[in-house]
Chains A and B, each alone.
Chain A
Amino acid sequence: MGMSLPWWKPDEELLAATLAEIDERAAEVRRALAFVSCLPDQQPGRESGIPLDHDRAAATDHMGDLLDAVGTAVFLGASDTARDRLGDLLDSRAACDLAAAAVSRLIEESLSPALSGLMNDIYELVAAEDGDRECLEERIVDALAERDRVELAMEGARLLCGCEPELDDDSLAALASFDDLLRAELWRTLPLGDRRAARCAWAAPRYRERLWWWFRGCDLPHTALQDMQTVARVIHLFPEARQELERMLEAEQILDSLCAAGRDRGRGKVISLREYLLRKFRPKTSSSGETRQMFVCVSGPRGPYDLAASHYEEKPLYQTAELTVSTDGENLIVDIESPEKPLADRPPVLEAPDHAPLAARQAPEPNRFEFPLSNPVFSAPEAWLVVSLTTSERRIRLPFDERE
Chain B
Amino acid sequence: MARRDLVLGEGGRLLESLSSGLDKKTLSELRVAGFVNTRVAHLHLFKHVVRLCDLPPEELYASRDPEKWSEIIPNPPLAPDLRARRRKARESLAAIDSCGLRVGRPEGDLPCRTCSSADAQGAVDEAFSDLMASYLEAGRQAFEWAKRNVSERLPFLLAFRQNGQPGVRLKFVDNRKITGAGLLSRHGGEVLLLTCYRKDPGRPLSLLKLSLSRERAGHRNEGTLVPIQGC
A residues contacting B by CB (< 8 A) are 10-11, 13-14, 16-18, 20-21, 24-25, 61, 65, 68-69, 72, 110, 113, 116-117, 120, 124, 130-132, 134-135, 137-139, 142, 145, 192-195, 197-202, 221-222, 356, 358-359, 361, 372, 374-375
Contact = CB atoms under 8 A, between A and B. Distances in A.
Given A135-B194, A375-B222, A145 B211 contact: yes
Interface of A is mostly: helix
Contacts of B113: 124, 132
Contacts of B220: 11
B221 A198 contact: yes
Contacts, number: 126
Chain B interface, DSSP helix/strand/loop, else mixed:
mixed
B215 A199 contact: yes
Interface of B: 3, 6, 36-37, 39-40, 43, 54, 56, 58-59, 110, 113, 152-153, 155, 160, 162-164, 169, 181, 183, 194-195, 199-200, 202-204, 206-207, 209-211, 213-224
A65 B204 CA distance: 8
Given A113-B58, A132-B113, A198 B36 contact: no
Given A13-B217, A138-B181, A195-B163, 5 more contacts: A11-B217, A17-B213, A21-B207, A65-B207, A198-B160
B195 A113 contact: no
Contact of A199 (B36, B40, B218): B218
Contacts of A200: 218
Contacts of B162: 137, 192-195, 222
A167 B181 CA distance: 34
A372 B221 CA distance: 7
A222 B161 CA distance: 13
B12 to A, nearest CB: 17
Contact of B36 (A16, A117, A134): A134
Contact of A72 (B152, B160, B210): B210
Contacts of A374: 221
Contacts of A117: 54, 56
Contacts of B202: 61
A199 B207 CA distance: 16
Nearest to B204: A65
Contacts of A110: 200
